[in-house]
């Protein structure tokens, strides 16, 4: 059993993708499951803050808690049966590297989720999604440590109560469950490929690919994302800052009379999804900068830190964006990032 290390006055600036300067009073890298048993015996859940890859968090102020940083590592193949493979990854693994590993094994299912920053453990919490696919569609189950009861628990997809960019772990289970492992149900052949969303089909066509495999789609997605989104290592950001709002068709019909070119995607007979990036761009924010904060020039949905922004600077910019969208369209944007502090 390895001893859990606790460090004081630990900088978090390079442990999250916004790159905001903040310092944790106490910090513990979780590199083995035994470390969580130690935490459960010594600390109460309200005394800890769980940090994964840091790709979806905005620190308005430093957490006044013990920061538990998920650094659990490892992949494995649990089962291959017919066309199905059950594969597992530890919660601290880099998400994109894991996706690439599954493709190297010849498995399909995660290709549309290539190049999304963050960790495996954070993927189900956020129910990450891109280009017509959500991770909840391929999750088999997951393992988490309950900091309240001090015990291990395995969750089925139904128990995770997945929703659009949401799950039980962002709601009732927030701060209570430390996700240690996620298992995925992937395909070995006869892959169910999704090429209809966004620019994937156009990118494949430009490459002369008419019969794509999962690797082809992954390469196309990576090309698209690199063109549209800034590299967090070069320009601090957390990807999409806001969720794409889902509104009633009646409201959409009224808006379309004023904005006939409004981009939308059907969700159900009663609801449609409006791209938040389109709304923000129509309000004139694309490429705009205020001090050290701005809206990215190639994708207005991405707010960026130009180097010395504080969390409150970014938050103030985001609220100005929200107000302008509401004033113009009557639509309230909801933050996708997890906001810490106040």
Give the domains, in start order, of the chain with CATH numbers: 7-70 (3.30.43.10), 75-228 (3.30.465.10), 236-340 (3.90.78.10)
What pLDDT, in 10s, does the model give residues 137-165?
A: 999 999 999 999 999 999 999 999 999 99
Report the relative pairing of strands 265-266 and 151-155 from DSSP bridges: unpaired
Residue 226: what pLDDT? Answer: 94
| Region at 286 (left for phi over 0; alpha for psi -120 to 50; beta for the rest) | beta
Question: What beta strand segments (E) does the chain contain?
Answer: 7-11, 23-30, 48-51, 57-59, 66-70, 75-81, 84-90, 129-130, 133-134, 139-146, 151-155, 177-187, 236-240, 246-248, 265-266, 271-273, 289-290, 293-296, 299-305, 338-340
Average pLDDT over residues 38-59: 90
Residue 259: what pLDDT? Answer: 98
b vs e for 2-12, b when ≥16 Cβ sit within 10 Å of the residue's Cβ? eebebeeebeb
Q: Catalytic one among 119, 240, 295, 300?
A: 240
Residue 267 Cα to chain centre, angstroms? 21
Residue 153: what pLDDT? Answer: 97
Residue 1: what pLDDT? Answer: 58
Which residue blocks in 121-240 are alpha helix, DSSP H? 122-126, 200-206, 214-228
How many Cβ atoms sit within 10 Å of the Cβ of residue 267? Answer: 14
Which residue blocks in the chain are alpha helix, DSSP H? 33-42, 95-104, 122-126, 200-206, 214-228, 249-258, 276-282, 311-329
Least confident residue range of 29-43, 91-105, 301-315? 29-43
The verdict on whether 201 is a catalytic residue reads no
Q: Catalytic one among 111, 119, 165, 295?
A: 165
Residue 46: what pLDDT? Answer: 85
Average pLDDT over residues 109-136: 96
What pLDDT, in 10s, does the model give residues 251-283?
A: 999 999 999 999 999 999 999 999 999 999 999
What pLDDT, in 10s, does the model give residues 56-98?
A: 999 999 999 999 999 999 999 999 999 999 999 999 999 999 9
Residue 2: what pLDDT? Answer: 74
Res. 38: pLDDT tops 90: no
Least confident residue range of 2-16, 30-44, 231-245, 264-278? 30-44
The verdict on whether 34 is a catalytic residue reads no
Q: With bands split at pLDDT 50, 70 and 90, how would you rate the model's confidence at 197?
A: confident
Query: Residues 225, 218: contact at Cβ < 8 Å?
Result: no
Average pLDDT, the chain: 95
Average pLDDT over residues 314-330: 98
Report the relative pairing of strands 236-240 and 151-155 from DSSP bridges: unpaired
Residue 42: what pLDDT? Answer: 81
Q: Catalytic one among 111, 181, 219, 336?
A: 336
Residue 222: what pLDDT? Answer: 97
The verdict on whether 336 is a catalytic residue reads yes
């Amino acid at each position: 059993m390895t001893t859990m290390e606790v460090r004081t006055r630990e900088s978090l600036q390079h442990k999250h993708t916004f790159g905001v300067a903040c310092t944790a009073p106490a910090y513990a890298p979780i590199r083995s499951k035994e470390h969580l048993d130690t935490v459960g015996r010594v600390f109460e859940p309200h005394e800890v803050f769980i940090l994964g890859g840091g790709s979806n968090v905005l620190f308005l102020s430093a957490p006044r808690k013990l920061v538990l940083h998920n650094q659990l590592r490892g992949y494995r193949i649990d089962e291959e049966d017919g066309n199905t493979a059950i594969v597992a990854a530890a919660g601290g693994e880099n998400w994109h590297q894991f996706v690439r590993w599954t493709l190297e094994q010849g498995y399909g299912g995660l290709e549309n989720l290539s190049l999304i920053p963050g960790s495996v453990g954070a993927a189900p919490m956020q129910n990450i999604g891109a280009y017509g696919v959500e991770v909840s569609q391929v999750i088999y189950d997951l393992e988490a440590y309950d900091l309240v009861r001090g015990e291990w628990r395995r969750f089925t997809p139904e128990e995770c109560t997945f929703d659009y960019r949401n799950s039980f772990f962002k709601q009732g289970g927030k701060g209570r469950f430390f996700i240690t492992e996620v298992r995925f149900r992937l395909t070995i052949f006869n892959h169910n490929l999704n090429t209809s969303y966004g620019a994937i089909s156009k990118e494949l066509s430009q490459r002369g690919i008419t019969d794509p495999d999962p690797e082809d789609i992954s390469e196309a997605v990576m090309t698209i994302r690199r063109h549209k989104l800034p590299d967090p290592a070069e320009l601090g950001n957390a990807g999409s800052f806001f969720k794409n709002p889902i509104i009633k068709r009646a409201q959409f019909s009224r808006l379309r009379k004023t904005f006939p070119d409004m981009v939308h995607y059907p969700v159900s007979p009663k609801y449609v999804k409006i791209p938040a990036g389109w709304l923000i761009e129509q309000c004139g924010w694309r490429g705009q900068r205020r001090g050290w904060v701005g809206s990215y020039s190639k994708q207005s949905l991405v707010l960026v830190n130009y180097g010395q922004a504080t969390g409150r600077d970014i938050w103030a910019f985001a609220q100005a964006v929200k107000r302008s969208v509401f004033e113009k369209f009557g639509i309230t944007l909801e933050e996708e990032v997890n906001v810490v502090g106040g």
